[in-house]
Every structure is written in C-alpha cells, then in structure tokens.
C-alpha cells in the first residue's frame, strides 16, 4: 500500500499558468510512489472530482 499525500493548491491542470503546469508535473511524478489527492481551485470546472494523470482531483471554487 502506498503512503498518502494530499495537496491543497490553487493552480493545477487544466490551468495553463506555469504554476499549474509545474504542480501537475510534480504530482504526476510523485504518483508513482504515493496515493495522491489534489484539492485545487479552477473557476471553469467547479466541484468536479476526477482522475488526472494518476491523481484524484477535487476542484473547488477559489
């Protein structure tokens, strides 16, 4: 069983800002060794839970 990590961040996929891309890549790399959950804010896709590049993604209103 993998250890669990929860990231609470403002910028993540599908945000195209450099911070969003960087955090998405970091979480993708860590997902090989950890069970990842990402809690992020993105104004276009509010409240949708889905899998993104191996991480469970929960998007909340900023």
The DSSP code for 3 is P
DSSP label of 2: P
Higher pLDDT, 59 or 28: 28
How confident is the model over 4-39, as pLDDT tens digits?
988 888 877 777 778 888 888 888 888 889 988 888
More confident residue, 12 or 50: 12
Between CA 1 and CA 19 the distance in angstroms is 30
Q: What are phi and psi of 36, to 5 degrees?
A: -100, 140
Query: Rounded to whole angstroms, how far apart are CA atoms 61 and 46?
Result: 6
Distance CA 32, CA 16 (A): 23
Question: What is the predicted pLDDT for the residue at 3?
Answer: 94
Whole-model pTM above 0.75?
no
């Amino acid at each position: 069983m993998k250890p669990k990590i929860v990231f609470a961040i403002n910028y993540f996929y599908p945000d195209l800002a450099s911070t969003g891309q960087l955090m998405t890549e970091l979480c993708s790399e860590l997902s090989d060794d950890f069970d990842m959950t990402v809690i992020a804010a993105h104004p276009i896709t509010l409240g949708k839970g889905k899998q993104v590049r191996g991480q469970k993604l929960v998007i909340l209103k900023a």
